[in-house]
Amino acid sequence: MANNLLKGKKGIIFGALDQNSIAWKVAEFAHAEGASFTLTNAPIALRMGEINKLAETCKTIVIPADATSVEDLEKLFAQSTEHLGGKLDFVLHSIGMSPNVRKGKSYGDLNYEWFLKTLDISGLSFHKVMQVAEKLDAMNEWGSIVALSYIASQRVFPDYSDMAQAKALLESIARSYGERLGKLKKIRVNTISQSPTMTTAGSGVSGFDQFFSYADKMSPLGNASSEDCARYVVSLFSDYTRMVTMQNLFHDGGFSSMGISEALLK
């Protein structure tokens, strides 16, 4: 049931690793809605080769870029505008990784080099993406930039570890850069705080199955799926949300407003 919501719009989608990735679903929906875009991921993530299938479906190319490397990002934006034949209207930042979480470090025994990596990959990279886009003047007026976040930025979910700080950084960057790009070019910048979702990044957090089911029981609408998230992202890229900016938007079936639910008391 596509409606050409993104007809003629151009963009870059970061973070499609496999078909469970939120970015993968966004690419499928954005393609169905008439957008054209390039796909990108870290060189190491491209080795699996899965993303080539998505590129085929979406009739596009894959450009390798480590989102922590300004040089890679400069090449990515230059190649994308060239391939797409013009400036961009949207960017999706769907990137997250914590070596401390991956290696099961407890919060009282964090490796600080890894902590900085977590912040760089999952938070600071969002600033790098926007700074490169600004310097190359790669975006059109009334463009839309979205990054994905999680409620652990504001409430404590112990197993989320240093990713909580990375998401707090990400959301703060969205506000500060949203102000700047809004004034400069009427570009909006938002984060979506998404429900727990069964993906590689999601299920890397220990105890994920339990808190997936806890969040599902707490939320009146249940957990939002990656397909639901993709629809929401498309709406934020469309012209129907032009005045929404500098927000952290909860897309969580109501979870963030709940205290306790009947389902959890049973």
Ligand X SMILES: NC(=O)c1ccc[n+]([C@@H]2O[C@H](COP(=O)([O-])OP(=O)(O)OC[C@H]3O[C@@H](n4cnc5c(N)ncnc54)[C@H](O)[C@@H]3O)[C@@H](O)[C@H]2O)c1
Residues with catalytic annotation? 150, 160
Place of tokens 């760089």: 120
Instruction: Locate the DSSP E strands across the chain.
Output: 10-14, 36-41, 62-64, 88-93, 139-149, 188-194, 248-251
Task: Give the CB-nearest residue to ligand X.
Answer: 202
Helix axes 112-119, 163-185, angle to 10 degrees: 30
By C-beta, is 21 or 161 nearer to ligand X?
Answer: 21
Phi, psi for 41 (deg, rounded to 5): -160, 170
Give the Cα separation of 261 and 152 in Å (integer). 19
**In whole angstroms, what is the distance from residue 185 CA to residue 217 CA?**
42
Name the residue nearer to ligand X (CB basis): 144 or 194.
194
Which residue, 185, 63, 202, 209, is CA-closest to 134?
185
Nearest residue (CB) to ligand X, 140 versus 172? 172
Residue closer to ligand X, measured from CB, 22 or 54: 22
Strands 88-93 vs 10-14: parallel, antiparallel or unpaired = parallel
Under the rule (CB under 6 A), what is the footprint of ligand X? 14-15, 17, 21-23, 41-42, 45, 66-68, 94-97, 121, 148-150, 194, 196-197, 199-202
Q: Which is nearer to ligand X, 67 or 91 (CB)?
A: 67
Are 151 and 195 in contact, with CB atoms under 8 Å apart? no
- C-beta separation of 143 from 151 below 8 A: no
Q: Is 59 exposed, middle or buried (0-12, 13-18, 19+ CB in 10 A)?
A: exposed
Alpha helix (H) ranges present in 136-261?
163-185, 200-203, 208-218, 226-237
